[in-house]
Amino acid sequence: MSFFKSLIKSFYYAFRGLLKITREERSFRIQLVAIFYVTVFAFFYGLDGTQWAILWLTFCMIPALEIVNTAIENTVDIKIREQNPNAKDAKDLAAAAVLFSSIITVIVAICLFSEKEKLLNALKITFTPPWLIIIVLTVFPAFIFIKGGKKDKHNKSEKKKGQK
């Protein structure tokens, strides 16, 4: 197989993984929606280039760890069929990594959005028409996106609970 064909295949598999986690993991979709709204607010706030870089580095940390968390959960589920404390610990530790990165990201955001004048100005812009109307109009599609469809693993488990 040629180098370029192999490279294209690698990208194909990576994008397939992104599509899979977006379809099946509600927490991943929640993270994407949060990133969207914070990005809109950051635009109004007026971050400089370095602040944007810091924000995006911390933003990327959470979904990346969520992908690793899901991969670990799926791998453990394949390998361990019965209750096993080590399997539970592996899943809990992977989830803890996501939680820890989320907490750090909130702390970073508080530091980035700490200038009172800029914060008040951004809030003023955010809560005045037409921006408020646009933001409100995005809430319903964001909710539908977060809720997910038939492929969402959370929806499947809720259906199974309801059938019993």
Q: List active site positions.
A: 66
Could you give the residue ranges of the DSSP H alpha helices within 46-130?
A: 49-79, 85-112, 116-126
Provide the residue type at 16 as one letter: R
Q: How far apart are CA 3 and CA 156, in angstroms?
A: 40
**Phi, psi dihedrals of residue 38, rounded to the nearest 5°:** -70, -35
Q: How far apart are CA 98 and CA 80, in angstroms?
A: 22
Burial of 66 (0-12, 13-18, 19+ CB in 10 A): buried
Burial of 111 (0-12, 13-18, 19+ CB in 10 A): exposed
Q: How far apart are CA 28 and CA 20, in angstroms?
A: 11
